[in-house]
A = this chain, B = another copy of it.
């Protein structure tokens, strides 16, 4: 599969794919004419990359994980990747909480704007924002 087909299939721009190669995150094969060529292995890889990205991994962290995966399995590698993953799981849990509370708050704000009878005054919203703010302050 050439770069533009791969680009369309996965919703990443040509430039992004070239950038990922330069960053050594996703390195395609090359045809005799120098054109990039993506195969099934690259499909698996790009899916993982996209998933890790949406759940909050930086490209650097993704690269770390990919590089660890390439090395022969060892205690050290496991500890490193485990730490990275545990860390991320913690952050994701916190972020889910914040988003859930934030969604609720936004719904109230919306009701308030619409003049809904259930949310007659700003006090309810003020309290929710206060709670959400407090949630942001203390980790996990």
Contact of A113 among B44, B48, B82 (CB under 8 A): B82
Which B residues are CB-close (under 8 A) to A93?
Answer: 103
A86 and B137 CA atoms in complex are apart in Å by 26
> Of A100, A130, A132, which is in contact with the most chain B CB atoms at under 10 Å from its CB?
A132
- Are B105's CB and A89's CB within 8 A? no
Interface assignment of A98: CB less than 8 Å from any CB of chain B: yes
Which B residues are CB-close (under 8 A) to A44?
Answer: 126, 129
A40 and B139 CA atoms in complex are apart in Å by 25
Which residue of chain B has the shortest Cβ distance to A44 in the bound complex? Answer: B126
Query: When A54-B136, A129-B48, A136-B54 are in contact, do A95 and B99 touch as well, CB less than 8 Å?
Result: yes
Interface assignment of A19: CB less than 8 Å from any CB of chain B: no
Contact of A11 among B51, B56, B114, B137 (CB under 8 A): B137
- Are A106's CB and B85's CB within 8 A? yes
CB distance from A126 to the nearest CB of B (A): 7
Question: 4 tightest CB-CB pairs across the interface, nearest first?
Answer: A55-B102, A47-B133, A51-B132, A92-B103
